[in-house]
Amino acid sequence: MDRLGKLEKLYAEWNAQINLISRNDFEHFWERHVLHSLALALYFKFPEGARVIDVGTGGGFPGIPLSIWFPDTEFLLNDSIRKKLKVAEDVAARLLLKNVKTSWCRSEEINEQFDYITGRAVKSIPEFYGFTEHLLKPDKHAAYWYWKGGEFEEELASVPMHTTVYKLHEMLAEPFFETKCLIKMQR
């Protein structure tokens, strides 16, 4: 809880230097970024020793909050924009997160496989799947966890995976979550 409590100050410092989170949105930091990221924990617990890649992590969402919540899980935070990834690296270092590494490149360039792939509204679901499918282990338990809002049923229809949609407003009463979903995709 101590580490989670330090997040707002660290991100406020960085947000003053580079615009990670819009100034108007920063007043909703906890709800729209930390709680939104941690919503996964309402539905799933990463097994101890699991390897997760957070593709398009930006400044570290959802990867940093999840790495705090799941300290026995390894996280690779990936982004192609160096200045955003620098924020995630600094926050992880200042919070002494031993389970976080970063990768500054396009996800297509990564030659490893992971138990779980996370992404928070990075691209359309088919685009995200297309440039990350090589990263998912060929294991029946391996899965994507993707944060998405709005209408996306057509997007899901073109992805060759079994999908489960969790409507966040069913667990989180704040109006922000009314249209937000968490999507699990598995082979």
- Listed by start position, the domains of the chain span 2-186
Structure tokens of 74? 């390894």
CA 108 – CA 11 distance, rounded (Å): 28
Domain 2-186 has CATH 3.40.190.10: no
Exposed (0-12), middle (13-18) or buried (19+): which is 48, by Cβ within 10 Å? exposed
- The per-residue pLDDT for range 108-146, each reduced to its tens digit, is 999 999 999 999 989 999 999 999 999 999 999 999 999
- The per-residue pLDDT for range 48-72, each reduced to its tens digit, is 999 999 999 999 999 999 999 999 9
Across 64-81, average pLDDT = 98
Which positions ≥6 away from 19 have C-beta within 8 Å?
none
